[in-house]
Amino acid sequence: MSEHETPVPPAGDEIHLPGGSLQPLLLTVGITILLIGLTTSLWILALGLIITVGVLVAWVRDAIRETNAFPVHHHDDHH
């Protein structure tokens, strides 16, 4: 090994990347409509609030479901 190379640590757990999702875009749309509603109409505000809360609830529910699907690792720590 040359002096410029650093040792590579052994591979650990795989890195988990979530799949593509429209939720960030829908959340942005909901917040934008909500903010427009603040200056224009109560109905537009309500629509933006419904979209924003609905997307947030769905996003959190999906994140919890995805996290629960991760394999559970049990480490035996004997001292």
- Which amino acid, residue 6? T
* Pairwise pLDDT comparison (36 vs 19), residue with the higher score: 36
Residue 7 placed within a domain: no
State which residues form the domain around 29: 23-65
Residue 4 placed within a domain: no
CB 18 within 8 A of CB 66: yes
Give per-residue pLDDT as tens, 6-25: 666 566 666 666 678 899 99
pTM of the model: 0.66
Residue 43 placed within a domain: yes
Task: Please tell me what DSSP assigns to residue 5.
Answer: -
Residue 36 placed within a domain: yes
User: Residue 19: what pLDDT?
Assistant: 72
User: Residue 33: what pLDDT?
Assistant: 97
Q: What's the average model confidence in pLDDT over 56-78?
A: 78
Residue 50 placed within a domain: yes
Residue 29 placed within a domain: yes
Q: Locate all alpha helices (DSSP H) within the chain, ordered by sequence.
A: 23-39, 42-68
Count of structural domains within the chain: 1
**Binning pLDDT at 50, 70 and 90, where does residue 47 land?**
very high
